């Protein structure tokens, strides 16, 4: 523990933990099990959510993030857009039918942002999967999100329903099925709902 850490602990200040990007690739191999065993297909969409950035730094941060995305997407041909939501969170949204490229793009961008000092702004990476409709219910697909919490270095499932409800039984089933294949958050109190995911 350094002097700064010591002083912060005495004064009651704490710093956010650094973003953990090393376990992002676990979703790549897990996607095979999700599709074969659970009927969940990658939708071709993913995103990174950032904490709100102070107005004074927002434009320069957005420009830098935009340039990083343009650079990284040249390799994979992954489409992207930046979007600000109603809570002032900034989203980098990716589209690519090749799931491996999608995961690689999210990892590259998060690593690059971490390297450029935006690590504390990284909240989560989100991958959308779509369930197969039940027999006789054509068009009854359900969006299933796997959310990677950068601070914890773990994934958790999020299955939103209408009226800001969640499909808890499915979320618990997904955890039971996938915890051997990927780092799944054990503390369900940290399974934060993200209402209004823009993809």
Contact 99, 31 (CB under 8 A): yes
Minimum mean pLDDT among 5-14, 140-149, 170-179: which range?
5-14
Domain assignment present for residue 193? The answer is no
Contact 132, 125 (CB under 8 A): no
Domain assignment present for residue 6? The answer is no
Strand (E) or helix (H) holding 120: none
Domain assignment present for residue 196? The answer is no
Tens digits of residue pLDDT in 75-112: 778 899 988 888 878 899 999 999 998 998 898 888 87
Domain assignment present for residue 31? The answer is yes
Strand (E) or helix (H) holding 52: none
pLDDT of residue 1: 47
CATH assignment of the domain containing 105: 3.30.70.600
Domain assignment present for residue 197? The answer is no
Buried b (16+ CB within 10 A) or exposed e, 13-38: eeeeeebbbeebebbbebbeebeeeb
Domain assignment present for residue 39? The answer is yes
Domain assignment present for residue 195? The answer is no
Task: Return the half-sphere exposure (C-beta side, CA atoms, 13 A cut-off) of residue 122.
Answer: 31
Tokens of 197: 């995911």
Number of independent structural domains in the chain: 1
pLDDT (mean) for 16-34: 80
Domain assignment present for residue 160? The answer is yes
Structural domain for 48, as ranges: 20-132+140-185
Please tell me the pTM assigned to this model: 0.83
């Amino acid at each position: 523990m350094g002097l700064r850490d010591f002083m912060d602990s005495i004064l009651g200040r704490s710093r956010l933990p650094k973003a953990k990007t090393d376990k992002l690739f676990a979703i790549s191999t897990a996607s095979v099990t999700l599709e074969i065993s659970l009927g969940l297909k990658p939708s071709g969409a993913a995103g990174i959510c950032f904490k709100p950035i102070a107005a004074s730094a927002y434009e320069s941060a957005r420009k830098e993030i935009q340039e990083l995305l343009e650079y990284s997407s040249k390799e994979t041909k992954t489409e992207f857009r930046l979007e600000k939501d109603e809570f002032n969170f900034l989203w980098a949204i990716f589209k690519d039918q090749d799931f491996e490229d999608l995961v690689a793009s999210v990892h590259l961008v998060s690593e690059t942002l971490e390297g450029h000092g935006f690590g504390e702004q990284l909240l989560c990476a989100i991958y959308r999967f779509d369930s197969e409709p039940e027999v006789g219910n054509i068009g009854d697909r359900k969006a299933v999100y796997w959310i990677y919490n950068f601070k914890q270095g773990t994934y958790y499932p999020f299955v939103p329903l209408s009226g800001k409800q969640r499909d808890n039984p499915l979320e618990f089933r997904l955890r039971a099925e996938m915890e051997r294949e990927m780092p799944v958050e054990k503390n369900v109190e940290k399974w934060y709902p993200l209402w209004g995911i823009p993809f």
